[in-house]
Amino acid sequence: MDFYSRFLRPIFFSLNAEEAHDAVMSLLQSGSRYPGIIRIMAGPQIPPNQRKVAGINFPTPIGLAAGMDKNGIALPAWEALGFGFVEVGTITSRPQPGNPKPRLFRFPDHEALINRLGFNNEGVEAVASRLEGLRSSGNWPGIPVGLNIGKSKVTPAGAAHLDYLASFKRLKGLEDYFVINVSSPNTPGLRDLQSTEALGRIIRTLRDWEGTPSKPLFVKVAPDLAEEDLVEIVKLAEEEQLAGLIATNTTLDHSAIPDDQQQQGGLSGKPVRLRSLRALQIIRQHSKLPVIACGGISDGASAQERMEAGADLLQVYTSFIYQGPALLRKLSKVT
């Protein structure tokens, strides 16, 4: 039993899921000033296993998925815990509180979560200012930092491309890579932006403003897409010369959860494993673009199956909540 499982998890799991999340983030924000202490508490360090993907050097292929550190408040802590990269967000152009509470639910028997958070974040101006301050302080982490951007809830679908552009412009230069998030199930109409027409408009709007791309741009897709729709996104990514895809976001398939425990929102954790794996396999059948695998990666077997299916990098979130830093050591043995 490691320190997290023996001491910290029982404390955090005595709180409701969102209270625990807020407590963890507050501790990691404070701990970011003393990363050496976090390294000691995290246990044995992850051995280097460098990968170069989309022109970026990743010290290990195991990263933190978006959704945990929505506002970029604990970047040095994630490096100290052993992550090879971290993805901040989802960030929207406007501050927004998200959906009404309660909106985050644990299912320990399934090592799963359901969330309907709704892109709660401080907005692009606050996040950009914080990241600028961290850079100027000299404490910027030595691991790649991705910035995941989404549509503000109040923005009409027809203006989505301009909303993404506003966030993209303000954050430009602070990222190692960008992610266009059009796959969360918790913002009304967001998944409609996965149509090639809408997604293409977003991508071209960012490209037209940027000119020659200076940093990689990824798109995060849903695990619930029909195969033909996912193939169309892959074709679009190839045509637009994107850096790659992230497969996948949370699922609306709650069949693994008993009826009397159901909640609205996106399901993550072990139950999404096969859907996310299938999305990766479909992408790899049609493209050699880099793929960051995400969803249901919770042990050596699930990590190895993604690597064998053609993933270039892995991301975790829900399994980290349940297992803590020991998960990273477990995954590092097979990647």
What's the pLDDT tens digit per position in 37-58?
Answer: 898 888 888 888 999 999 999 9
Catalytic residue among 184, 268, 319, 332: 184
* Mean pLDDT along residues 114-135: 97
- We report the CATH number of the domain holding residue 299 as 3.20.20.70
Mean of the per-residue pLDDT values of the chain:
95
What is the rounded CA–CA span in Å between residue 246 and residue 37? Answer: 32
**What is the structure's pLDDT at 314?**
98
pLDDT tens-digit series, residues 198-229 = 999 999 999 999 988 889 999 999 999 999 99
- Name the domain count of the chain: 1
**What is the structure's pLDDT at 1?**
54
Q: Report whether 66 contacts 87 (CB < 8 A).
A: yes
User: Which pLDDT band, with edges at 50, 70 and 90, does 189 fall under?
Assistant: confident
Residue 32 annotated to the active site: no
User: Which pLDDT band, with edges at 50, 70 and 90, does 154 fall under?
Assistant: very high
Share of the chain above pLDDT 70, in %: 100
**What is the structure's pLDDT at 186?**
82
User: Which pLDDT band, with edges at 50, 70 and 90, does 266 fall under?
Assistant: very high
**What is the structure's pLDDT at 259?**
95
Lowest-confidence segment of 14-18, 46-50, 75-79, 133-137 by average pLDDT: 46-50
**What is the structure's pLDDT at 134?**
96
**What is the structure's pLDDT at 43?**
84
What is the rounded CA–CA span in Å between residue 167 and residue 150? Answer: 8
Q: Which domain holds residue 151?
A: 3-332
Answer whether residue 269 shows pLDDT above 80: yes
Q: Which of 37-41, 105-109, 330-334 has the highest mean pLDDT?
A: 105-109
User: Which pLDDT band, with edges at 50, 70 and 90, does 335 fall under?
Assistant: confident
Q: Which of 181, 266, 256, 287 is nearest to 224 (CA)?
A: 266
Answer whether residue 59 shows pLDDT above 60: yes
